[in-house]
């Protein structure tokens, strides 16, 4: 009797086959495809015989990672993996988050942007050129996903502390979105990095034959705003539930675009609002060490751009929430910019600085401003390396028993002072945080673990809360709640070692709790596009994608 042949398994609908599958980073599993999947999906003969687990693959990736001699080579290694197999890429990041964060984002991403045209391998995201104006709605139809939930877009004018990087700034949206997925589980298929290429003022790039962007000076003024508006309207038409994050625009442009769009679409600016929230959370944690209240603080910021003014605005909001009058709260926030102390008698102040221009004498430099203002905290967002000199730290330590010293400029080379300098010059008194990571430092027998005021503590959780609730807007109240929630998750053990933020290896747990707090604001303020569940934390956790392989066969 002839034996009846067994039926071959059927592939799930929508899965590519053959080499198309191996070349699709969202679906590719590489050597982890099972024999049954290989038969059903046209992969037989296209892979080595051994079926590997994802753990085998992680081991292989890490073995090669450790053979790289520079951080930029490690960045290239990881980005190449991301271009081949996104699930494996995010599993590697998740398993090694503290080691990988400085590679896939600050500080290494800054070097990657500076070398972007020279290390370019495979295009990722969308490059919307000024030459596309009038046709952007048609252009974005080329993007394959019809369910984009998070866009991070830049025009490359102010990348970290490195200035105008033009189209080479695309490394920032790519890196930011990798953190959305790694830190809070936004599915990579729902993310889209966008470069709005309007030219560059960077003469080095304009003369570089390997530069990837438009070779022209920047478009500005009404033509620029119309171009941005055309993209935003086209994106909202294509993806109605999308949240758009403005990233690393020039100061004037950033404030202007946020003013135009914040009450019209679901959007925020991470440099203004995300930086503000992570800084406010750090202040909340620092106050647990000083045993003072927020209303007791006098805060002096070095740098009055989008990050600085965003920080000032959110601290004012928090002070008002705690009973201060608006003008009283603003009177506690002071700025020093490139021209000295921001005061009313100065002429030509940018509009965003006016609300913090106090009736006070002109002071030309930061050291003299400390002497005059007697601040409890100094916050550096200036990109002026070493601006917090020994004299600055010693003066702050003389004024305060526990001076709050935040050197937040990125990348590391732009930090106002290092952790070692802050702890040494303050004789171990400083409560310190930085924008880029610094290693633990031992001072007179005590090991300090410096906190990293990284926006990755804030924007992924905010984004997850917005995506999970389909919120119509992103509001200042959401950022205030995210700051409060982050500070609450800093343990006493963290504070005892000098760290004013939770450990990075807890970032997914932290982001979920922040997302739940943001979701509560969306429901309370009538912004949510879904019904309120019995448990908001369960809602956001159910929205979190995990870097695990799924079977592509019908059971």
Catalytic site positions = 105, 176
Look at the block and give the residue holding tokens 């292989």: 60
Cis-peptide, bond into residue 107, ω within 30° of zero = yes
Q: How far apart are CA 317 and CA 329, in angstroms?
A: 8
Q: How far apart are CA 75 and CA 60, in angstroms?
A: 16
DSSP string, 32-57: G--HHHHHHTT-TTSS-SPPPPHHHH
- The tokens describing 450, both together, are 């410096």
Phi-psi region of 221 (alpha: psi -120 to 50; beta: other; left: phi over 0): left
Q: How many CB atoms lie within 10 A of CB 17?
A: 13
Q: What are phi and psi of 191, to 5 degrees?
A: -115, 150
Query: Which residues are bridge partners to 153 per DSSP?
Result: 194, 246
Q: How far apart are CA 373 and CA 299, in angstroms?
A: 9
Query: Which residues are bridge partners to 194 per DSSP?
Result: 126, 153
- The tokens describing 393, both together, are 């730290």
Mark 118-142 as b/e (b = at least 16 C-beta within 10 Å): ebeeeebbbbbbbebbeebeebbee
Question: Do strands 441-443 and 446-448 pair parallel, antiparallel, or not at all (unpaired)?
Answer: antiparallel
Give me the sign of the Cα torsion angle 125, 131, 133, 137. negative
- 153 and 181 Cβ atoms separated by less than 8 Å: no
Question: Do strands 333-337 and 340-341 pair parallel, antiparallel, or not at all (unpaired)?
Answer: antiparallel
Give the sheet arrangement for strand 126-129, strand by strand. Answer: 126-129, 191-197, 150-154, 243-246, 267-269
With 0-12 / 13-18 / 19 or more C-beta atoms within 10 angstroms meaning exposed / middle / buried, residue 228 is buried
Q: How far apart are CA 48 and CA 133, in angstroms?
A: 47
3-state secondary structure of 433: strand
Q: How far apart are CA 305 and CA 381, in angstroms?
A: 8
Q: How far apart are CA 303 and CA 161, in angstroms?
A: 12
Fill in the DSSP letter of residue 11.
B
């Amino acid at each position: 009797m002839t034996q009846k042949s067994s039926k071959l398994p059927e592939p799930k609908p929508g899965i590519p086959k053959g080499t198309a599958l191996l070349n699709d980073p969202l679906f590719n599993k590489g050597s982890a495809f099972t024999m049954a999947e290989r038969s059903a999906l046209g992969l037989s003969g296209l892979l080595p015989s051994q079926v590997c687990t994802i753990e085998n693959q992680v081991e292989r990736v890490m073995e090669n990672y450790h053979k790289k001699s520079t951080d930029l080579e490690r960045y290239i290694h990881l980005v190449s993996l991301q271009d081949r197999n996104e699930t494996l890429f995010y599993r590697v990041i998740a398993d090694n988050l503290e080691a990988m964060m400085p590679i896939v984002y600050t500080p290494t991403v800054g070097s990657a942007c500076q070398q972007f045209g020279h290390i370019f391998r495979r295009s990722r995201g969308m490059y919307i050129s000024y030459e596309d104006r009038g046709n952007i709605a048609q252009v974005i139809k080329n993007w394959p996903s019809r369910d984009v939930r998070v866009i991070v877009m830049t025009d490359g004018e102010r990348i970290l502390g490195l200035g105008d990087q033009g189209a080479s700034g695309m490394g920032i949206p790519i890196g930011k979105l990798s953190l959305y997925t790694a830190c809070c589980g936004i599915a990579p298929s729902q993310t889209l990095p966008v470069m709005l290429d309007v030219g560059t003022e960077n003469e080095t790039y304009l003369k570089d034959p390997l530069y990837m962007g438009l070779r022209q000076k920047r478009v500005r003024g009404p033509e620029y705003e119309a171009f941005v508006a055309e993209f935003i309207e086209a994106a909202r038409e294509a993806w109605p539930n999308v949240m758009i994050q403005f990233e690393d625009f020039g100061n004037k442009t950033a404030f202007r675009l946020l003013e135009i769009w914040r009450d019209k679409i679901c959007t925020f600016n991470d440099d203004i609002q995300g930086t503000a929230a992570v800084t406010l959370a750090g202040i909340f944690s620092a106050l647990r060490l000083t045993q003072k209240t927020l209303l007791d603080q006098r805060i002096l910021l070095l740098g009055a751009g989008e990050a600085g003014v965003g920080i000032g605005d959110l601290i004012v909001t928090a002070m008002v929430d705690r009973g201060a009058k608006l003008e009283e709260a603003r009177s506690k926030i002071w700025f020093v910019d490139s021209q000295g102390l921001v005061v009313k008698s100065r002429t030509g102040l940018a509009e965003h600085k006016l609300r913090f221009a106090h009736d006070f004498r002109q002071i030309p430099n930061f050291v003299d401003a400390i002497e005059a203002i007697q601040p409890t905290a100094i916050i550096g967002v200036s990109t002026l390396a070493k601006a917090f000199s020994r004299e600055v730290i010693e003066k702050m330590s003389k004024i305060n028993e526990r001076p709050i010293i935040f050197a937040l400029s990125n990348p590391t080379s732009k930090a106002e002072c290092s952790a070692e300098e802050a702890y040494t010059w303050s004789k171990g008194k400083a409560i310190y945080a930085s924008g880029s990571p610094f290693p633990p430092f031992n001072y007179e027998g005590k090991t300090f673990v410096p906190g990293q005021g990284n926006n990755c503590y804030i924007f992924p959780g905010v984004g997850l809360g917005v995506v999970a609730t389909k919120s119509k807007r992103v509001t200042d109240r959401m950022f205030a709640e995210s700051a409060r929630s982050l500070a609450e998750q800093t343990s006493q053990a963290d504070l005892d070692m000098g760290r004013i933020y939770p450990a990075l290896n807890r970032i997914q747990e932290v982001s979920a709790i922040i997302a739940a707090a943001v979701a509560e604001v969306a429901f309370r303020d009538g912004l949510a596009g879904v019904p309120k569940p019995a448990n908001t934390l369960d809602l956001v956790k159910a929205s979190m994608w995990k870097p695990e392989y799924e079977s592509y066969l019908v059971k």
